[in-house]
Structure 1
Amino acid sequence: MLCVRVGLVGSRVEVWRLVEIDASLLLDRVHAVLQVVMGWEDTHLHAFADADPDTGVRSGLSGLSGPRRWGPGFLREDDEDLLLEENITLGVVLSVDRPLFYEYDFGDQWLHRLDVIEIRSAGPAERRVVVVRGAGRCPLEDRGGVDGYEQLLMVLADPAHEEHGEYAEWVAAMTGQPASQFNPALFNPDVANRLLRERFPASGPAAQ
Structure 2
Amino acid sequence: MARRVFQLRVTLDDVAPLVWRQVLVPAAYTLDRVHRVIQLAMGWEDCHLHSFEIDGVQYGEPDPDEGLPLLDELDYRLDEVAGPGARMCYVYDFGAWWEHEVAVEDVRAADPLTRYPVCVAGERACPPEDVGGPEGYAEFMTAIGDPAHPRHIAMWDWIGRPYDPAEFHADRVTTLLRRLT
Query: Scaled by the length of structure 2, what TM-score is found?
Result: 0.91
- The SS at the match of 1:7 is strand
The Cα shift of 1:93 comes to 2.0
Q: Which of 25, 31, 46 is equivalent to 2:29? A: 25
Unaligned runs of 5+ in 1: 51-57, 59-66, 201-208
Question: 1: CA distance between counterparts of 2:178 and 2:115?
Answer: 8
Q: Letter of the 2:80 partner, please give it.
A: V
Contact 1:5 1:18 in 2 (8 A): yes
Provide the residue aligned with 2:11 in structure 1.
7
Backbone CA RMSD of aligned residues: 1.5
- The SS at the match of 1:4 is strand
Q: Which of 72, 75, 93 is equivalent to 1:87? A: 75
Provide the residue aligned with 1:153 in structure 2.
141
The Cα shift of 1:134 comes to 0.3
Q: Letter of the 1:197 partner, please give it.
A: R
The Cα shift of 1:171 comes to 2.0
Per-residue deviation, residues 62-110 of structure 1 (Å, max 9, x unmatched): xxxxx2101113x244336310100001122222332111111111111
- The SS at the match of 2:16 is coil
Question: 1: CA distance between counterparts of 2:176 and 2:99?
Answer: 23
Contact 1:5 1:17 in 2 (8 A): yes
- The SS at the match of 2:103 is strand
Contact 1:13 1:150 in 2 (8 A): no
Q: Which of 45, 48, 52 is equivalent to 1:44? A: 48
Provide the residue aligned with 2:174 in structure 1.
193
Provide the residue aligned with 1:68 in structure 2.
57
Question: 2: CA distance between counterparts of 1:82 and 1:128?
Answer: 27
More strand by share: 2
Question: 2: CA distance between counterparts of 1:186 and 1:132?
Answer: 15
Query: Scaled by the length of structure 1, what TM-score is found?
Result: 0.80
The Cα shift of 1:143 comes to 0.8
Question: 2: CA distance between counterparts of 1:83 and 1:188?
Answer: 34
The Cα shift of 1:12 comes to 1.4
Runs of at least 4 residues off by over 4 Å:
none
- The SS at the match of 1:147 is helix
Q: Letter of the 1:70 partner, please give it.
A: Y
Unaligned runs of 5+ in 2: none
Contact 1:93 1:100 in 2 (8 A): no
Q: Flag the structure with larger Rg.
A: 1
